[in-house]
Structure 1
Amino acid sequence: MKFTGTPRIIFFLVILALNIVADQATKSMMRAHIGYYDQYFFFNNHVTLLRVENTGAFLSLGAKLVQPFRFILLTLLPAIALLGALFYSITKKGLSNLMVTGIVFCIGGGMGNLYDRIVRGSVTDFVHLKFGPLQTGIFNAADVSIMIGFGLILLNAFLRRNDDQKAEKTIIEDHSVEL
């Protein structure tokens, strides 16, 4: 069953709101209870809570750009992309529930970070993971939402590809002629 029309919009808004609320609530808790660059280690130092204010994008890319380039690259273009994704996910017919959910997670995470950038001038990041030589940059709940969204979109593409291959195989088998 695919969500269409009003149920799709309601589903969209609920998932979007949950993503934004979770992101803003966790950032608010970090700002209230953890000082800049204070570190708290968990799970044998595999998880670190460390509050930083990121004026750039992922891994602080673009933080040293001068205005107006930083505004264009880190605020205006993401806002346009989010509006485009919002329009696409609401108006595009035939999108699977999985695809819509993935897009909504990406939009929710993007909106959470964009809100911070507009209101605070930076994005609050606070989680760092390290497992042996592998480690992440410092990230937040919005970044997790975006990654979950991309994961769902990739899963949708994989499942759709498999469905298309099965349908193609069925068509070929149905139309094959025995000699």
Structure 2
Amino acid sequence: MKLSKRSIFITLVTILTIAVDQISKIIVRANIIGQTETRASERISLIGDAFIMLNVENEGAFLGMGSDLNPTLRIILLLILPIFVLGFVLRYILKDKNLDNWSLFAFASIIGGGIANVFDRIVRGSVTDFFFVDLGGVFKTGIFNMADLSVTTGMIILVFVSFRKKKIIE
């Protein structure tokens, strides 16, 4: 079976996204002292107080949402539902031959980031988050990881692509 350039592109972006995320989490777990019940995570300042690295195990979703749900509901919302959504998105991009390269890149980044975080939840029971950005109150994030960054970047690219297409149509 010969793979198309398109399928190879989707596969490479997805695998690269997963690899970068998993390698970064391994490095963080090995080198930054994590948070415990009695101690806060070690904080490493990369650029003053604007860009900080730390090691936090997140049992919930974005910003820890859902971490206090009962275990059954957490499995449904944070494992089963994302797996179905990722499968649907993968099926969509493989079937829709009209998607441009930017959209393919964006969707593959979203799938890779989603798979990486679902993998962590299955294997570790939590997701390792480690980046925090605070630009003096102008812009401030929660604690996130490379998978989250890939999903967010993919979504931003899709928004720009859809605006570009809408402008061309008008």
- Give TM-score scaled by structure 1 length: 0.88
Q: Name the structure 2 match of 1:9.
A: 7
**Deviation of residue 99 (structure 1)?**
1.1
Q: Name the structure 1 match of 2:38.
A: none
Q: Give the letter aligned to residue 115 of structure 2.
A: M
Q: State the aligned residue count.
A: 161
**Deviation of residue 95 (structure 1)?**
1.2
Q: Give the letter aligned to residue 151 of structure 2.
A: I
Q: Give the letter aligned to residue 61 of structure 1.
A: M
1:157 matched to 2:157? The reply is no
**Deviation of residue 135 (structure 1)?**
1.3
Q: Name the structure 2 match of 1:144.
A: 149
Q: Which runs of 5+ in 2 are unaligned?
A: 35-40
1:48 matched to 2:52? The reply is yes
1:65 matched to 2:65? The reply is no
3-state SS of the aligned residue for 1:135? coil
The structure with more radius of gyration? 1
Structure 1 outlier segments of 4+, above 2 Å: none
1:38 matched to 2:36? The reply is no
1:118 matched to 2:122? The reply is yes
1:25 matched to 2:54? The reply is no
Within the candidate set 79, 83, 90, 1:79 is matched to 83
Q: Give the letter aligned to residue 158 of structure 1.
A: F
**Deviation of residue 93 (structure 1)?**
2.5
Q: CA RMSD in A?
A: 1.0
- Give TM-score scaled by structure 2 length: 0.92
- The one-character-per-residue Cα deviations of 1:66-89 (angstroms, maximum 9, x if unpaired) are 021010001000010000001100
Q: Name the structure 2 match of 1:171.
A: none
